[in-house]
Structure 1
Amino acid sequence: MGDLLGVAVLGAGHMGADHIRRLDRAVSGARVVSVVDPDTDRAEEAAAGIDGVLVHTEAAAGMDAPGVQAVLIASPDPAHEEALLEAFARGLPVLCEKPLVPDPAGALRVVEAEARLGRRLAQVGFMRRYDAAYMRLKSLLDGGRLGRPLMLHCTHRNVSSPPEFTTAMLIDSSVSHEIDAARWLLGQELTAVTVLRPRPSSNAPDGLLDPQLVLFETSGGALVDVEIFVNSGFGYQVRCEAVCEHGSAGIGDERAMVVTTAGGACEEVAQDYLVRFADAYDREVQAWVDATRRGRVCGPTVWDGYAASAVARAGVRAQESGRRESVDLAPRPPLYGSRGD
């Protein structure tokens, strides 16, 4: 097992446990050697059946465990900045679940820390870039056959929101995926945000202003609208349609299994993002492992993570003000190139 990439996984909750399973059973070239979570029972349960895994309660201890060569961060969002900086201090490659850091100022500190190193160490977990349908759409738009993209129409629906979910999280947790996907698909920055709200659904918990319509303007003159509805009650749906000068292309309506019986038919609807994007997560982590073993870093950068946090913060301001809010981005360090892809 010495030729396998030794990974420390920070966080053993819903996402972290799934990544532990993925690294152990679905991804080649890596093994889990350390799991970090304040809840040791949860960490031990997530690592059950994996030989040689050490459980820790502190991120630094988990990174210093024998055999650790890379870090996968799936801990709660506020813990990301410290964990990233600890990994940078050790020269460890990182795959960090989104958001990079929910606060743009903290995300910018991570950008500046990596820029000072003069090399990339971190990849941000915007897994839609690894979804087969999104990759086909990206290839089509880049090829230019449909002409210049004019609009993106996006839908993001969940069955229900967890108890701690807030109105701000509609933007900085859920719509953050569309923020990155739009920047990547269009190769443009998002420059302004407007948020419109219908009367909240009766399915939404008291105080949660759900659903919402979020409108983004881009540096290239395109428009992106996102319907975010986290208490739809029926399923997990993600759709995106690109409207271009010479045609349109949509993804997200791929047919699932349809069961037909007397008097009707029923089509499956995914109930969870880990189901809908299972292949994308597998592809993302495999690409990260492969690149890391070659001494490379690929995929979404910490600049992409910072940009998503800055756009989301403008979106939260737009929620609160009811006005169009501009996005303020710091100068991009040369390490990250010049495009929003």
Structure 2
Amino acid sequence: MTDLRVGVVGVGVMGADHAERVVRRTAGARLVAVCDADRGRAEALAARLAPVESPGIRVVDDPLDLIAADDVDAVILASPGFAHAEQLFACLEQGKPVLCEKPLTMDAASALEVVEAEHKGGRQLIQVGFMRRFDPEYAALKELLDSGELGRPLLLHNVHRNKSVAPAFRSEMIVRDSMVHEVDVARWLFGAEITRITVHTPKPTSLVGDGVLDPQLAVFELANGAMADVEVFVNFQVGYEVRCEAVAERGSATIGLGSGVLTRAGGQWGGAMPADFRVRFEQAYDIEVQRWVDATVRGEIDGPSAWDGYAAAAVCEAGLESLQTGRPAEVVIADRGTVLG
């Protein structure tokens, strides 16, 4: 069987990480092309990966040319969110399976158009990069909740902290680019849509610029009566920390406690905290991409769908409304049965 020929659009932090993953840690796949608005960055990545591991990586200037290329079987989109809609429509037009990093698109309306276009084509081609579903701890929590051992899930508590972000990372990006992960986690773990979101903003940390509301505390209300909350703090300074506790009728379960090596020395005890998401979720990304490749070869997807990306976009859109008004915002989401038949 020949390897799946993969092209990567956008080779910033996440895209470069995926490109290296395809080359060095993914079976049955071969990186054949990369594209980035910064051609020098793409050339440097291709040169670094090509000499030994993956000779013949092309650098393509136009992402639409990469998507249409005859030697590209499937695409990983790690470009900026504002470019996703055009690039996703191109993938659908070309019949190319695509792993799209979040967000699916920048707003619910365009995300729904993507869902409708994919459905009209008659085949699921889009998988969205909500990698937490592939993390072994999150997967184990999902299995536990689905087993019914703890009874009906009632509450979900989430903590999502980054050591720091770029100064250009504004308040709305905390909702759309960070909190979106907990949006998907809540929908996935509880198996229900989020119907209302309230975003609270305490006095911000002194370490951010004027007008940036960090941290944020959001409350989700779900259609099945469950509730979830999430603290997102993207300038935490200490390190990258993601925790999740599910509370059910007969018990609770917590993941993300940092169960690595615990040291006791010099009158202190503790352990290391990951510097960023690539360290904490490295295994999740590896599993995600490998399963995407395997499913693509079978003509399927094996993970969050375009609908999941649309639903998350709808929740985040309501979250931005709540962020601006300080009041709860209803989530407006299309009827799935009507859209998908």
The TM tier, using the shorter chain, reads over 0.9
Rounded to whole Å, the distance in 2 between the matches of 1:194 and 1:296 is: 36
Retained in 2: the 8 A contact 1:301–1:336?
no
Rounded to whole Å, the distance in 2 between the matches of 1:265 and 1:47 is: 43
Deviations 1:119-152 (A, max 9, x none): 1111000000000000000000000011111100
State the partner residue of 2:179.
175
State the partner residue of 1:72.
76
Give 1:245 deviation, angstroms.
Answer: 0.6
Q: Does 1:11 align with 2:19?
A: no
State the partner residue of 2:258.
254
Q: Does 1:42 align with 2:41?
A: yes
Rounded to whole Å, the distance in 1 between the matches of 2:166 and 2:145 is: 35
Of the structure 1 ranges 231-240 and 197-206, higher mean CA displacement relative to structure 2 is found in: 197-206
Give 1:204 deviation, angstroms.
Answer: 2.4
Retained in 2: the 8 A contact 1:11–1:74?
yes
* Alignment gaps of 5+ in structure 1: none
Retained in 2: the 8 A contact 1:34–1:65?
no
SS in 1 for 2:336: coil
State the partner residue of 1:308.
312
Rounded to whole Å, the distance in 2 between the matches of 1:222 and 1:295 is: 35
- What amino acid is aligned across from residue 11 of structure 2 in structure 1? A
Rounded to whole Å, the distance in 1 between the matches of 2:126 and 2:211 is: 36
* Alignment gaps of 5+ in structure 2: none
Retained in 2: the 8 A contact 1:118–1:335?
no
Report matched runs for 1:216-227 at 5 Å: 216-227=220-231
Name the CA shift for 1:223/1:200 in 2 (closer, same or farther; >3 Å).
Answer: same
Retained in 1: the 8 A contact 2:243–2:254?
yes
Report matched runs for 1:245-284 at 5 Å: 245-284=249-288
Retained in 1: the 8 A contact 2:23–2:31?
yes
SS in 2 for 1:205: coil
Rounded to whole Å, the distance in 1 between the matches of 2:337 and 2:297 is: 26
Aligned CA RMSD, in angstroms, stands at: 1.3
Compute the TM-score of the two structures, normalised by the length of structure 1: 0.96
Rounded to whole Å, the distance in 2 between the matches of 1:241 and 1:235 is: 20
Retained in 2: the 8 A contact 1:119–1:335?
no
Retained in 2: the 8 A contact 1:203–1:233?
no
Give 1:265 deviation, angstroms.
Answer: 2.4
Give 1:247 deviation, angstroms.
Answer: 0.5
Give 1:308 deviation, angstroms.
Answer: 0.1
SS in 2 for 1:20: helix
Of the structure 1 ranges 254-263 and 149-158, higher mean CA displacement relative to structure 2 is found in: 254-263
- What amino acid is aligned across from residue 301 of structure 2 in structure 1? V
SS in 2 for 1:47: helix
Of the structure 1 ranges 2-11 and 147-156, higher mean CA displacement relative to structure 2 is found in: 2-11
Rounded to whole Å, the distance in 1 between the matches of 2:74 and 2:59 is: 16
SS in 2 for 1:78: helix
Rounded to whole Å, the distance in 2 between the matches of 1:14 and 1:336 is: 34
Q: 1:92 pairs with 86, 92, 96, which one? A: 96
- What amino acid is aligned across from residue 30 of structure 2 in structure 1? R
State the partner residue of 2:23.
24
SS in 1 for 2:287: helix
Q: 1:229 pairs with 223, 228, 233, which one? A: 233
Q: 1:158 pairs with 155, 162, 169, which one? A: 162
State the partner residue of 1:293.
297
Give 1:53 deviation, angstroms.
Answer: 1.1
Q: 2:64 pairs with 60, 64, 73, which one? A: 60
Q: Does 1:207 align with 2:206?
A: no
Give 1:67 deviation, angstroms.
Answer: 1.7
SS in 2 for 1:119: coil
SS in 1 for 2:257: coil
Of the structure 1 ranges 285-294 and 58-67, higher mean CA displacement relative to structure 2 is found in: 58-67
Deviations 1:219-248 (A, max 9, x none): 000110001111111011111100101100
Rounded to whole Å, the distance in 1 between the matches of 2:338 and 2:321 is: 29
SS in 2 for 1:210: coil
Of the structure 1 ranges 262-271 and 132-141, higher mean CA displacement relative to structure 2 is found in: 262-271
- What amino acid is aligned across from residue 275 of structure 2 in structure 1? Q
Q: How much identity, in percent, do the aligned residues show?
A: 51
Give 1:336 deviation, angstroms.
Answer: 5.5
Rounded to whole Å, the distance in 1 between the matches of 2:126 and 2:197 is: 28
Name the CA shift for 1:205/1:256 in 2 (closer, same or farther; >3 Å).
Answer: farther
Rounded to whole Å, the distance in 2 between the matches of 1:335 and 1:303 is: 10
Compute the TM-score of the two structures, normalised by the length of structure 2: 0.96
Retained in 2: the 8 A contact 1:11–1:75?
yes
Aligned residues: 336
Rounded to whole Å, the distance in 2 between the matches of 1:275 and 1:180 is: 20
Give 1:194 deviation, angstroms.
Answer: 0.9
